[in-house]
Each structure stands twice: as structure tokens, then as C-alpha cells.
Amino acid sequence: MKRYLILYFTTALVLLPLDFLFLGVLARNFFASEVGSMLGEVKPLPAALFYLLYILGILIFVSGAASASLGSALAYGALFGLFCYATFELTSLSLLRHWSWRVALLDISWGMIVTAVSATIGLFITDWITPRA
């Protein structure tokens, strides 16, 4: 149980700053220009719930298994990011008037990258802190 808590924390420690940097700084103007008036203020409770659940999903489906390796975390992290982000983006693209392929492709790509990197570095740090027997 201790290992999973450490893995959860280390994955969050990587994912959160990267995602905040991307959304709040690097891609902020892009999203504002592409979807404009659809953007509102961040609602903290749904955002917190998303991150809590998403990181748990990374542990369940990517990095939490005893057999998880850095290579598998990278590959399955990218796939998990692809499936999760594509679900949101393609649904938004099919339903929302101001959603664009540019937004969808950028965000799906980002989801793959941030999930793969977070899962891999989280596992690397956890293995360093609590080596597997």
C-alpha cells in the first residue's frame, strides 16, 4: 500500500506542474484564440476530481502493476493518454460548434505526452524510493 501511495504522489508531482504549465502558459493563447468564448473560469472542484481520478487511472492501467517497467509505462502511458484525451476531444469536436481539429489534435498529443512522461518518471522515482523486491 505504501508503494502505491508513493507512486500516486510521484506521478502527481510530475503531471500537475507539467499540465499547469501547458494549459496556463504554453497553450493558453492558442486555446483562447481557437475556442474563445467557450472558455470560462476554472472550477476547482471538478478540476481536482479530474486529476485525482486521472492519476488513479494511470496507476491502475499503466504503472501500478508489479510487472510495470519504464518502457511499458512510457508506451501504455501514451496509449492511456491517447484514449482518455481522444474521448474528450472527439466528443467535443462532434458536439461543440467552436471546437476545431487543431484543438483536438494538439490536446490529444499533449495528453499522450504528459501521461507517458508522468507515468514513467513517477515509476522511476518510486522505484528509487522503494525498490521492488
Give the tens place of pLDDT for each residue, 12-65: 999 999 999 998 899 988 988 888 777 778 899 999 999 999 999 999 999 999
Q: How far is CA 101 from CA 6, 37, 105, 117, 124, in A?
A: 37, 17, 6, 24, 34
Is the pLDDT at 127 greater than 80, yes or no? yes
To the nearest whole number, what is the mean pLDDT of the chain? 94
Across the range 91-105, mean pLDDT stands at 92
Give the residue with greater pLDDT, 41 vs 78: 78
Decide if pLDDT at 80 tops 90.
Answer: yes
**One-letter amino acid for residue 88 of the chain:** F
C-alpha cell at 130: 522503494
Mean pLDDT calculated for residue range 74-97: 96
36: left (phi over 0), alpha (psi -120 to 50) or beta: left
